[in-house]
Amino acid sequence: MKVLYTIAMMLVAIVMADQNAYSQAIIPRLRVANFMENAPAEKLDFYVDDEATPFASGLRFADASASVPISVGSHRVIAVASGAPKSEAIFTEEVMVTSDSAFTLYAVRTPGDTLRGITFGRTLTPVYKEFNNLIIGVFHASPKLGEVRLMGRDPNEKNVFASQLWFARRGINGELAYFLQQETRITSTLLIDNQPTNIYFTGQYIGPQVLTMVIVGTVAENTLGFYMVHDSDTLEQRPVEKQRYANQGDGGMRYVDCVPDEFTGDASGRRFIRSLIAYWNQGAQFLGATGVIDDLLGPTITQTYVGLDGPPEQFQLLYDTVNVRTDTLYTLFLVGTGMDSNVSTVILPTNWNNRPAPGKVRFRLFHTIPDVGSVDLSMKFSDGEERTVQGVGFKGHSEYIEVSGGPVTVRCLQAGGGKVLFESRGILPYDSTYTLLLTGMEKRKTLGSTLLNDSYSGLQRPMVQFSTVATGAEAEAKGVRGVGIWPNPSRDEFVVEYVSSGRGEDRIEVVDLFGRVVLRREVGAGIVGERLVGVRTEGLSSGSYRVRVIDGAGMEVGSGGVMVVK
């Protein structure tokens, strides 16, 4: 019994110690924020009680002070013009401080045209930190705006919060109405009485933290503003951020899946992607690109889950932070191998303003083949110009180069004069910007090149796979014509070009990434020379396939890759 009693007393002591530590850790605190419209002074200083020096000084409009510890009880907060004595107070407000709470006093102009401080309190709690959650409050601080409604939605158009507001509206307990939300990008819709159109603001909200959205100004005076004050449980001073009007962001992001192998149990090769920037629970397929997520600007965090629906060990969690700049598209390439959970992201920017000269094309090379080392490339263009790029390693890329558009032949070799890995050909359309991806896996015999459009568009554009003329030893041999494959998505077909020997009946086979023949087309015998054969894609799922041509004697004429987009 003594042992049990001792253990029980020890547990009680531990719990009491934890509670005491908790109470000591989150002491009351106070901050001030200046949102006074048409203030009598450009800057304000703030004093507490009889203190001789201000605890916050030089606050301009839309500035907030650091949060400072303060004792429980009644306190006077005095606002003066910066540098003025306390006797020339603009206003004096009483703040009743309670334990385990944080208070923010907002200096404002009221609808009655008086100057005063309005205080909101919030009980401090660490719960929101467990899952990178956000606690979001909304403060209507505009003296002339009248009653408004505010709604917030995430990228999937799901309502995050909705509130009907009037000046300095309080909740039942005297606090602001706070909403708990996972970190995400939020578009806020402001509905104003007698205003014919809604107003939209947007921003990415990263947890864990506590935020207060402050509405000030009017539409008529062109002063309407939507600000974000950081109220997290911290003593540091953070800048107040002004939210952008929606659809005025100048940057964008997208994902491109360049992982050439499949995850166990998923024959389609689809990867599960979940991202904060917009696309939640999206499937991405090899050589598939998402649409562009635009209206972004400034630091943007992406959180990407890559894998299958299944046990957690099949997932990878990738974090990236991108400082999105004006008129710039950021492409997040998923590269590596999924079988060994070795997927990573490579982020490449494209400036939308750097367009090619008329009749020219801008493009860069990006190496995504995981099982070959550095490569050298030679390219021959329609006007006879030749370009070489040497020593491009896995995940490496070249800078954009400007060349003549039209047909191009790409020859890829192991770096330093090694064997030819593949040769492909395709068309670089004029007056646009592209990334030419080196794709596939050598051991799967799926090497090739794929064209990705980098020009501005919010649409999801299909990637165009160049036809692979020859690979490996075939490409080393001179005079090998191989096959050409020309996608024609508008007719749900692709055209195969090859030279027939006339030795019996030829056949065209379409092979998936597992080596299975999923489509076979017989071609009539007796014709010697070049042939163009259309192959319908009915029955094929979206994805990457190898197309091979076998003559009547059973010899493979050549093979190439094709991307089917449904």
Question: For position 196, what pLDDT does the model report?
Answer: 66
> pLDDT grade, residue 262 (50/70/90)?
low
- How many H helices and E strands in the chain? 2, 45
Q: What is the pLDDT of residues 318-371, one digit of tens each?
A: 878 888 888 889 998 989 887 777 888 899 999 988 888 888 899 999 999 999
Quick one: which of 215, 202, 185 has its CA closest to 248? 202
Is the peptide bond prior to 208 cis by the omega test (within 30 degrees of 0)?
A: yes
Q: What single-letter amino acid sits at 490?
A: S
Q: What is the pLDDT of residues 111-140, one digit of tens each?
A: 999 999 999 887 776 555 556 677 888 888
Domains, in order of start, for the chain: 20-245 (2.60.40.10), 354-476 (2.60.40.10), 484-564 (2.60.40.3080)
Q: Helix, strand, coil shares of the chain as percentages rounded to 5? A: 10, 50, 40
Residue 397 DSSP code? B
Residue 133 DSSP code? E
Two tokens at 558? 């050549």
- State the Cα–Cα distance between residues 57 and 505, nearest whole angstrom: 89
Q: What is the CA radius of gyration of the chain?
A: 32
Between 475 and 169, the higher pLDDT residue:
169
Question: For position 514, what pLDDT does the model report?
Answer: 77
Quick one: which of 443, 467, 481, 465 has its CA closest to 558? 481
Question: For position 469, what pLDDT does the model report?
Answer: 64
Q: What is the mean pLDDT of residues 15-21?
A: 39
Quick one: which of 331, 328, 322 has its CA closest to 298? 322
Question: For position 5, what pLDDT does the model report?
Answer: 44
Two tokens at 294? 């635009």
Question: For position 404, what pLDDT does the model report?
Answer: 83
Non-local CB neighbours of 336 within 8 Å, separated by 6+ positions: 259, 342, 343, 344, 370
- State the Cα–Cα distance between residues 448 and 431, nearest whole angstrom: 24
Question: For position 477, what pLDDT does the model report?
Answer: 47
Residue 98: Cβ-neighbour burial (10 angstroms; 0-12, 13-18, 19+): exposed
Quick one: which of 361, 359, 358, 357 has its CA closest to 379? 361
- State the Cα–Cα distance between residues 443 and 446, nearest whole angstrom: 8
Residue 39 DSSP code? -
Give the number of other CB atoms < 10 A from CB of residue 509.
Answer: 18
Strand pairing partners for 342? 337
Residue 489 DSSP code? G
